[in-house]
Amino acid sequence: MTTLVTISLDLAKNVSQVHGVTAEGKVLVRRQLRRGEVMTLFQGVPSCLSRFAQAGP
């Protein structure tokens, strides 16, 4: 069974990018999310390391 250990969220104004990987570095999640979809995604994700990034001024 593969377990998500790290999830990264690149924040943007309207559409954000999400990447989730296993301990071995295998990508499990790679999606674009609209602002309203972010909470729905994180409600279904098990506890893991979460990283948030924001580009721009």
Domain 6-54 CATH superfamily: 2-keto-3-deoxy-galactonokinase, substrate binding domain (3.30.420.300)
**47 phi/psi in degrees, rounded to 5:** -55, 130
DSSP codes of every residue in 1-57: -----EEEEEE-SSEEEEEEE-TT--EEEEEEEEGGGHHHHHHTSPS-EEEEEE---
Rounded mean pLDDT, 21-26: 92
Residue spans of the domains in the chain: they are: 6-54
pLDDT above 90: percentage of residues in the chain: 40
What's the length of the chain? 57
pLDDT tier, 43 (very low <50, low <70, confident <90, very high otherwise) = confident
Neighbouring CB atoms inside 10 A of 24's CB total: 7
What's the predicted TM-score (pTM) here? 0.73
